[in-house]
């Protein structure tokens, strides 16, 4: 059962985001990016208090995703990415992004914190960061 509302176009939009942000990190990397996106729709805290659907989450500006702001969010979703997007919409959570609201691709090592959020781990090129339960209890 879905943890956020999503029609078929929403699923495709999330799939496009996952592909644009993490195709180079494979299926697992795309699932992690999807976790972050779904978490941003689920919570009502920090930078995401007015994000209530996939479209607003994908195109949030400022504070959104680099791929939508720098022009490499142009490829259509393939069936494989659509299936991955549906998995995270259905509630599949994968560490280190299971409670994360942010990720980025550093040049070197992951910093221990990023904008006061704790590093929860790294997968290939991306570091993931989660708020504390006090800052954003809905993500837990």
Per-residue pLDDT of 4-17, as tens digits, reads 999 999 999 999 99
Per the CATH hierarchy, to which homologous superfamily does domain 8-139 belong? Cell wall hydrolase SleB, domain 1 (1.10.10.2520)
| Residues 72/22, Cβ–Cβ less than 8 Å | no
Look at residue 93 in the predicted model and tell me its pLDDT. Answer: 96
- Give the 3-state secondary structure of 12-60: HHHHHHHHHHHHHHHHHHHHHHHHHHHHHHHCCCHHHCCCCCHHHHHCC
Look at residue 19 in the predicted model and tell me its pLDDT. Answer: 95
* pLDDT over 90 (residue 31): yes
The predicted model scores a pTM of 0.95
Cα separation of 88 and 39, whole Å?
Answer: 10
Domains of the chain by residue range: 8-139
In the numeric block, the tokens 């592909």 are attached to: 19
Q: How much is the average pLDDT of 34-53?
A: 96
Per-residue pLDDT of 60-84, as tens digits, reads 988 889 898 877 788 889 999 999 9
Average pLDDT, the chain: 94
| Structure letter (DSSP) for residue 121 | E
Look at residue 71 in the predicted model and tell me its pLDDT. Answer: 72
User: How many residues are given for the chain?
Assistant: 140
Per-residue pLDDT of 91-129, as tens digits, reads 999 999 999 999 999 999 999 999 889 999 999 999 999
């Amino acid at each position: 059962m879905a943890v956020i509302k999503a029609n078929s176009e929403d699923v495709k939009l999330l799939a496009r985001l996952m592909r644009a942000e993490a195709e180079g990190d494979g299926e697992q990397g795309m699932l992690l990016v999807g976790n972050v996106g779904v978490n941003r729709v689920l919570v009502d805290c920090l930078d995401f208090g007015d994000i209530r659907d996939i479209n607003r989450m994908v195109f949030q500006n400022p504070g959104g995703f680099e791929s939508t702001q720098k022009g490499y969010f142009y490829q259509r979703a393939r069936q494989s990415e659509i299936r991955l997007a549906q998995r995270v919409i259905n509630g599949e959570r994968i560490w280190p992004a299971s409670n994360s609201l942010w990720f980025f691709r550093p040049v070197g090592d992951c910093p221990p914190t990023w904008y006061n959020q704790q590093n929860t781990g790294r997968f290939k090129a991306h570091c993931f960061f989660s708020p504390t339960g006090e800052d954003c209890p809905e993500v837990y």
